[in-house]
Amino acid sequence: MTAIKELKAVARPRAGKGAARAERRAGRVPAVIYGEKQEPVTISLNFREINKTIYAGHFLTTLFEIDVDGTKHRVIPRDYQMDVVKDFPLHVDFLRVSQGTTVTVEVPVHFVKPEASPALKAGGTLNVVAHSVELDCPAESIPASVEVDLTGAAYGDTFHLSDLKLPAGVTWAGHGDDTLATIVAPSGQADAAAEDAAEAAKA
């Protein structure tokens, strides 16, 4: 089960750019909680706390319980804006999620056990096509990542979405069997293989 982290916030009765700038000057980050057919709630978060939380990683796949002046909201981040120059958070959007809600999230793809691939040990290259994939999953069961096992991988091997086993209740959000990565031979070996194929075709 996905761990739920806690955040504290205060209600922000005023919306608009002027009010948002005032919150930032006060060391806080404007945010909004929406969804579940309820009225949006404008809030502000402690700058240091939310900045640290975002940079800790997995922010958009983490469930939070936000305490807004004593009222708790169960949410998942949907988006956040960063300052293009200073790279700190300017605004955060949170989506309410009730028990059993299915959400679409983007999770990283991790390629594991490269040392167990004969091709990679011999100088081949792992050509990564997709560093992340979109999943539909219960909010309580969001995987931190999906793994591609490179054990035994040879030159020319291709890894697809269908090759991976997903946790119970989790499905692919995209369409089709996308390619995640391929194993490419070193350029010298690839050129030699192409020449051999050409010679064989002439024979």
Average pLDDT estimate for 162-174 = 85
Picking from 98, 131, 146, the residue at the C-terminal end of a domain is: 98
pLDDT value of residue 48:
94
- pLDDT tens digits, one per residue of 42-59: 999 999 999 999 999 889
Burial class, 87, CB count within 10 angstroms (exposed 0-12 / middle 13-18 / buried 19+):
exposed
pLDDT band at 195 (very low <50, low <70, confident <90, very high): very low
Does residue 89 carry a pLDDT above 60?
Answer: yes
pLDDT value of residue 99:
82
Question: Can you spell out the DSSP letters for 120-179?
Answer: HHTT-EEEES-SEEEEEEEGGG--S-EEEE-TT--TT-EEEGGGSPPPTT-EESSSS--E
Does residue 190 carry a pLDDT above 50?
Answer: no
Contact in structure between 92 and 29 (CB atoms under 8 Å): yes
Separation CA 149–CA 190 (nearest Å)? 24
Q: Give yes or no: residues 141 and 62 share one domain.
A: no
Picking from 34, 63, 98, the residue at the C-terminal end of a domain is: 98
pLDDT value of residue 188:
59
Does residue 2 carry a pLDDT above 70?
Answer: no
Separation CA 166–CA 105 (nearest Å)? 14
Token pair listed for 26? 């006060």
- pLDDT tens digits, one per residue of 9-27: 999 876 677 788 888 889 9
Q: Give yes or no: residues 29 and 72 share one domain.
A: yes
Picking from 78, 98, 118, the residue at the C-terminal end of a domain is: 98
Q: Give yes or no: residues 109 and 73 share one domain.
A: no
Separation CA 76–CA 64 (nearest Å)? 6
Residue ranges making up the domain that contains 181: 103-202
CATH code of residue 153:
2.170.120.20
- pLDDT tens digits, one per residue of 92-107: 999 999 888 899 999 9
CATH code of residue 44:
2.40.240.10
More confident residue, 168 or 7: 7
Q: What is the pTM of this model?
A: 0.77
Q: State whether residue 12 is helix, strand or coil.
A: coil
Average pLDDT estimate for 99-116 = 91
More confident residue, 66 or 4: 66
Q: Give yes or no: residues 94 and 107 share one domain.
A: no
- What 36-44 contacts at long range (C-beta under 8 Å, 24+ apart), as own/partner pairs, is 36/96, 36/97, 36/98, 38/96, 41/11, 41/68, 41/73, 42/11, 42/12, 42/13, 42/14, 42/15, 43/9, 43/10, 43/11, 43/12, 43/68, 44/9, 44/10, 44/12
Contact in structure between 76 and 94 (CB atoms under 8 Å): yes
Does residue 166 carry a pLDDT above 90?
Answer: no
Most confident of 15-29, 109-123, 182-196: 109-123
Number of domains within the chain? 2
Q: Give yes or no: residues 171 and 136 share one domain.
A: yes
Separation CA 153–CA 195 (nearest Å)? 24
Q: Give yes or no: residues 35 and 56 share one domain.
A: yes
